[in-house]
A and B are shown apart, each in its own frame.
Chain A
Amino acid sequence: MHVGFIFLAVIVGSILFHIFTPWYWTDIASNWGSMDDTITLTFWIGGGVFVAVCLFMVYCVFKFSYKEGRKAEYKPEDKKLEKILTIATTLGVAALLAPGLIVWNQFINVPKNAIHVDVMAWQWGWQYRLPGDDGKLGSTKVANINDNNPFGIILEDPNGKDDVLIQSDVLHLKNNRPVKILLRSVDVLHNWYVPQFRAKMDAVPGVVTYYWFEPNKVGEYEVLCAEYCGVGHYGMRGRVFVKSEPDYENWLQEQETFSDLVAKQEEIEFSKTKLAKK
């Protein structure tokens, strides 16, 4: 008997833990509430199946524990029951899959008005690049990266001239405006992840990957690297500030563009040669 009670306690305990847990989602700060909804749906259907199966098992433990002289039922198959269970399970699975695929379709189709953000990762840090007035990011090449061109922008690409360069791990985003995160890495795999935004994607050296979200809550958030990237992985953090439009624009004005950087370097070059001539 006590076996049945302990298993029952485990099931009831699991349900109570789920209801009263203090450990749960961080408050969502992006448009991906639909992901949370899909999870909630999965909890209801999946959790229901878990509880039903386990309770049935506990019932069997109570009801059919060994008794001398009793004989078990002999019934190798029950075609009808097996059919019902197959169909019911298939329907349950479909009910989970369909909404999942619909939300996935939203996740991989980026809205046209999304601001593109180049997130560049390395062992172990982040830096960011935003498009300038033309709204387009210039193309890049790892081989071009050097002290004078920290993002490896291809100089011949006119789109790159006005790109806004943020050589720090702190990014600012405009509230209620979709953002397309374009990820690249110069060395190993990384993953730019803010739990409150829910979404994440690996940065893979050699290719540019992407995902999108729309921040909808002003505030400060921590960026975590979510793909193991070597011994400094756990320390690879960054910060994001979601700001209202005027605050965001103010911040953006203060940032340096690629042409600013080039001009500054030419000036330094020039004064150096002048100095040398003297």
Chain B
Amino acid sequence: MAEDFNDNKTIQAQSSETISGGGAGVTPDKDYVRPAEVADQDLYHGHSFITKWVFCQDAKVIGVQYFLLATFTGIIGLILSWLMRLQLGFPGAAGFMTAEHYYQFVTMHGMIMVVYFLTALFLGGFGNYLIPLMVGARDMVFPYVNMVSFWMFFVAVGVLLASFFVPGGPTGSGWTLYPPQAILEGTPGSGMGIILMCVSLILFVAGFTMGGLNYLITVLQARTRGMTLMRMPLTVWGIFTATVLAMLAFPALLVSAIMMSLDRILGTSFFMPTILKAGEMLEYGGGSPILFQHLFWFFGHPEVYIVALPAFGIISDLISVHSRKNIFGYRMMVWAIVVIGALSFFVWAHHMYVSGMHPWFGFFFATTTLIIAVPTALKVYNWILTLWRGNIRMNTVMLWCLGFIVTFVNGGITGIFLGNVVVDVPLSDTYFVVAHFHMVMGIAPLMVIMGAVYHWFPLVAGRMLSEKLGKWHFWFTFLGAYSIYFPMHYLGFIGVPRRYFEMYDSPYITSAVGMNEFISTAAFIVGAAQFILIYNIVVSLKMGKPAGKNPWQANSLEWHTPTVPPEHGNWGDKLPVVHRWAYDYSVPGAKEDFIPQTTPPSEVADTEVEKT
């Protein structure tokens, strides 16, 4: 294996800008940026196919690898959802569908979509690709560990999918894996399935921690000169804060997975009380099923924000760029992200209002949960205020942004229903909950992912995606998904419980038959519409319009690399120097309607810049 190191090792302080302020009477140089304190990073450059594309240490390639593998698992999750909707809309239409299968599909769909699709895609995919580029670093600070992170994820996905082929199949205990049923007979996959699930999660957390440390330290230590924290694009803020949450929350998932494996394999009783099953006393006793729920949701609720915060950050940037307007209230947006992240550790038990925990918890967790609505609402206001008096390009990216606002506000409002403890009592464990979390945590982040794909594809591939196909893709997905989940809330009002394999023999549920058929049909169409994107990507990779440099006229650093797509090392010989925030759009007095972050003040001297 050929090894060589980047030879343009320079101390930036000696190589670039003049340091001003020599003696008295000299006005300080407006363009002055503090010199770098550490030497430029050495990078390992792979030469063989294996080191360049497989065991690669370039964060951009790792990002694409994460993206592709997460998308692959996401497609499996999508197919599972089709099978579930087939059963719910048209019971018996799939002859092989037993209750066991149904519950296995529900479980795997949920776990795949939340952890292996959304989390991996936002942090592993977008995080890896965008963080070094956006903060002006050459790569992540620990490229080797970063590579290992992806391959741990790869193994975790392998173990997860292997559970489809073991005796008894994958676990069917619901994505929350609540004991005691998760490890007792009577739940599908309570043999090997649940063990493989726990092992896969343990691997995922270990691998993810390696990536997460990279994202954090890169943001904290490897920003380029002039890139202060309060100049970072909100995408970086979102991913950064989400990673902090992940570092603190995933350990809770790790210990619950370990303890549950011990309960299952060694017969310990962390979560297992005295149990009488089929007339026989099991050899368990003294454990607490509610303890597992606390641990799980201590992870599970921050997990919602691990997905949501990067989405918040990305959507802020997309709206700003395509409205040709600065994001409104940047400082408040940053603080809202940080505050939401912090508060997300104090709301977990709102998933457990009817779990049998002490009822006084209800007062505390309802209060914290509704408090979190305030910074979240402020973010929404700031998005629409960014549109206000903008110059909004109605392109595909903007359509996804608008779709995000509608679905996110809708899902956020239903969250206020469920967070307000007493309203949760009739609605919990019904289809209202299913509709709520799919709207706010499934569809809304998906809108962001799609917007981000259309926005950054030109950077990654050097070619534009087809706008025409993109718009078809959007309208099918948005209108379809909205007509799946908006009516579904009303099934919850009727009282239809979730996780029912079939339910039509209940008198008041018969009215739901027609709606279930409609929802299922919409789900098939929305799912199929996603293949428009795949087609679009495949065709545009070869035949798309060349993107050129900075096709969206954006300010943030990733669009200002010497080559498009950026090469390994990102910046050629010299790191960029940052002079301003990422949102100087339509500044009065400026020639263009954007001023890139790298533009020094002297070049745009007669502009009225307010924030730098």
The residues of A with any CB-CB pair to B shorter than 8 Å are 3, 6-7, 10-11, 14, 17, 21-26, 32, 34-36, 38-39, 42, 46-47, 49-50, 53-54, 56-57, 60-61, 64-67, 70-78, 81-82, 85-86, 89-90, 93, 96-97, 100-101, 103-105, 107-108, 122-123, 142-143, 145, 183, 186-189, 191, 193, 195-196, 198-207, 209, 222, 224-234, 237
A72-B323, A72-B389, A72-B586 known; A205-B273 Cβ under 8 A? yes
The 8 Å CB contact of A64, one of B388, B422, B426, B428, is: B388
Interface-centre pick from B178, B323, B331, B416 (highest chain A CB count, 10 A): B416
Q: Is the Cβ of B593 less than 8 Å from the Cβ of A42?
A: no
CB < 8 Å neighbour of A188 from B180, B417, B608: B180
Contacts of B248 in A (CB 8 A): none
Q: By the criterion CB–CB under 8 Å, are A93 and B330 in contact?
A: no
A35 to B494 CA separation, bound complex (whole angstroms): 14
A84-B381 Cα distance, complex, nearest whole Å: 11
CB atoms of A206 and B273 under 8 A apart: yes
Q: What's the least CB distance linking B329 to chain A, in Å?
A: 5
For residue A200, give the distance in angstroms from its CB to the closest CB of chain B.
6
Contact A66 B391 (CB under 8 A): yes
Check if B391 sits within 8 Å of A53, measured CB to CB: no
Residues on the A chain within 8 Å of B405, using CB:
53-54, 57
Chain A contacts for B499, CB-based, 8 A: 228, 233-234
| Binary contact readout B331-375 vs A (1 if CB under 8 angstroms, 0 otherwise) | 110000000000000000000001110011011001100110110
B357 to chain A, nearest CB (A): 9
Q: Knowing A25-B493, A195-B508, say if A89 contacts B289 (CB, 8 Å).
A: no
**Chain B residues whose C-beta falls within 8 Å of the C-beta of A188 in the assembled complex:** 178, 180-181, 184, 186, 275, 289
Q: Report whether B384 and A205 are in contact in the complex, using a CB–CB cutoff of 8 Å.
A: no
Q: Is the CB of B399 within 8 A of A3?
A: yes
Query: Do A72 and B325 touch across chains, with their CB atoms under 8 A apart?
Result: yes
Contact yes or no, A93 B430, CB < 8 A = no
Q: How far is the CA of A32 from the CA of B497 in the complex (A)?
A: 19
CB distance from B342 to the nearest CB of A (A): 17
Of the candidates A89, A193, A195, the one having the most CB atoms from chain B within 10 angstroms of its own CB is A195
B500: chain A residues at CB < 8 Å are: 233-234
Report the minimum CB–CB distance from B267 to chain A (whole Å).
16
Across-interface contacts of A229 in B (CB, < 8 A):
181
- Asked if A206 and B288 sit within 8 Å, CB to CB, the answer is yes
State in angstroms the CA–CA spacing of A42 and B586 once bound together: 40
Q: Tell me if A26 and B378 are in contact (CB < 8 A).
A: no
Interface residues of B in 448-496 (CB under 8 A from A): 475, 479, 482, 486-487, 490-491, 493-495
Question: B402: CB under 8 A from chain A?
Answer: yes
Contact A231 B390 (CB under 8 A): no
Contact B103 A231 (CB under 8 A): yes
Chain A residue with Cβ nearest B176: A228
B422 touches A72 (CB 8 A): no
Determine if B100 is an interface residue (Cβ-Cβ < 8 Å). Answer: yes
- Residues on B with C-beta less than 8 A from A100 are 366, 420-423
Known: A103-B422, A234-B503. A191 touches B388 (CB 8 A): no
CB pair A73–B409 under 8 Å, yes or no, is no
Q: Which of A72, A97, A123, A193 is B391 in contact with, Cβ under 8 Å?
A: A72
State whether the Cβ of B387 lies closer than 8 Å to any Cβ in chain A. Answer: yes
In the bound complex, residues from chain B placing their C-beta under 8 Å from that of A203 are 356
A residues less than 8 Å from B129 (CB atoms):
none
User: Which residues of B sit under 8 angstroms from A191, Cβ to Cβ?
Assistant: 354, 429
A209: min CB distance to chain B, Å: 4
Residue on B nearest A102 in the bound complex, by CB: B422
Which residues of B lie under 8 Å from residue A71 when comparing CB positions? 324, 391, 586, 588, 593
B409 to chain A, nearest CB (A): 5
Give Cα distance in the complex from A78 to B494, angstroms.
Answer: 44
Q: Name the residue on B nearest A103 (C-beta).
A: B422
A10: chain B residues at CB < 8 Å are 406, 479, 482
- Cα(A86)–Cα(B379), bound, Å: 11
Write out the residue numbers on chain A whose beta carbons fall within 8 Å of the beta carbon of B172: 231
The answer to whether residues A77 and B493 also contact, given A97-B366, A187-B277, A231-B186 and a CB cut-off of 8 A, is no
- Give the contacting residue for B611; candidates A64, A76, A104, A107; CB below 8 A: A76
The complex places the Cα of A183 from the Cα of B380 at a distance, in Å, of: 42
- CA A74 to CA B391, docked complex, whole Å: 11
Which residues in A have their C-beta under 8 angstroms from that of B274?
A: 142-143, 205-206
A206 touches B289 (CB 8 A): yes
Further pairs besides A64-B323, A187-B184: 7, Cβ < 8 Å = A36-B426, A65-B392, A65-B394, A77-B611, A82-B329, A104-B421, A226-B430
B205 contacts A by Cβ under 8 Å: no
Binding site for A on B (CB under 8 A): 99-100, 103, 172-174, 178, 180-181, 184, 186-188, 273-277, 281, 287-290, 323-326, 328-332, 354-356, 359-360, 362-363, 366-367, 370-371, 373-374, 377-378, 380-381, 384-385, 387-394, 399, 402, 405-406, 409-410, 413-414, 416-417, 420-423, 425-430, 475, 479, 482, 486-487, 490-491, 493-495, 497-503, 506-508, 511-512, 515, 583, 585-588, 593, 608, 610-611
Q: How far is the CA of A125 from the CA of B290 in the complex (A)?
A: 22
- Closest CB in chain B relative to A93 CB, distance in Å: 5
Q: Is the CB of B356 within 8 A of A25?
A: no
Given contacts A89-B374, A142-B275, A204-B355, contact A23 B181 (CB under 8 A): no
A228 touching B421, Cβ below 8 Å: no
Residue of A nearest to B273 (CB): A206
Q: Which residue, B329, B356, B586, has most C-beta atoms of chain A within 10 A?
A: B356
Chain B residue nearest to A81 (CB atoms) is: B385
Identify which of A65, A85, A145, A195 contacts B495 (C-beta below 8 A). A195
Which partner residue on chain A sits nearest B323 by CB separation? A72
The 6 closest A-B pairs by CB, nearest first: A195-B495, A206-B273, A209-B356, A108-B359, A188-B181, A73-B389
Tell me the minimal C-beta distance from A182 to chain B in angstroms.
Answer: 11
Does the CB pair A46–B417 fall under 8 Å? yes
Complex interface: chain A residues within 8 A of B275 (CB):
142, 186-188, 205
Inter-chain contact A104/B494, CB cutoff 8 Å: no
**Docked pose: A96 CA to B367 CA in angstroms:** 10
Chain A neighbourhood of B503, CB < 8 A: 234
Contacts of A198 in B (CB 8 A): 425-426
CA–CA, A81 to B482, complex, Å? 31
A23 touches B490 (CB 8 A): yes
In the assembled complex, how far is the CB of residue B228 from the closest CB belonging to chain A, in whole angstroms? 15
- Which of B184, B389, B394, B508 is in CB contact (< 8 Å) with A66? B394
**Nearest-Cβ distance from residue B313 to partner chain A, whole angstroms:** 17
B356–A201 CB distance below 8 A: yes
Q: Which residue of chain A lies nearest to B508 when distances are taken between CB atoms in the complex?
A: A26
Write the chain B residue with the least CB distance to A58.
Answer: B402
User: In the assembled complex, which residues on chain B have CB atoms less than 8 Å from the CB atom of A76?
Assistant: 326, 328-330, 583, 610-611
A259 CA to B371 CA in the complex, in Å?
54
Q: Is there contact, CB below 8 Å, between B329 and A93?
A: no
Residue on B nearest A108 in the bound complex, by CB: B359
Is the CB–CB distance between B326 and A74 below 8 Å? yes
Q: Which residues on B sit within 8 Å (CB–CB) of A53? A: 380-381, 384, 405, 409
> With A56-B384, A108-B362, A231-B186 in contact, do A23 and B493 touch (Cβ < 8 Å)?
yes
> Nearest Cβ distance between residue B84 and chain A, in whole angstroms?
13
A23 contacts B515, C-beta separation under 8 Å:
yes
A107 CA / B511 CA spacing, docked (Å)? 30
In contact, A38 and B422 (Cβ under 8 angstroms): yes
> B391 and A224: CB pair below 8 A?
no
Q: Give min CB distance, B259 to chain A, whole Å.
A: 16
CA distance A82 to B503 in the complex (A): 48
Name the B residues within 8 Å of A232 (CB-CB): 99, 186
Question: Which residues on A sit within 8 Å (CB–CB) of B406?
Answer: 7, 10-11, 54, 57
Q: Which residues of B contact A54 (CB under 8 A)?
A: 405-406, 409
**Given A24-B494, A204-B289, A64-B389 contact (CB < 8 Å):** yes
Q: Which residues of B contact A93 (CB under 8 A)?
A: 370-371, 373-374, 416
**30 A-B residue pairs with CB within 8 Å:** A10-B406, A10-B482, A26-B494, A32-B426, A35-B423, A35-B425, A35-B426, A42-B416, A46-B413, A49-B409, A61-B392, A70-B391, A71-B586, A72-B324, A72-B585, A73-B586, A74-B586, A76-B328, A97-B366, A103-B422, A193-B495, A201-B354, A201-B356, A204-B355, A207-B273, A209-B356, A226-B428, A226-B430, A228-B174, A233-B501
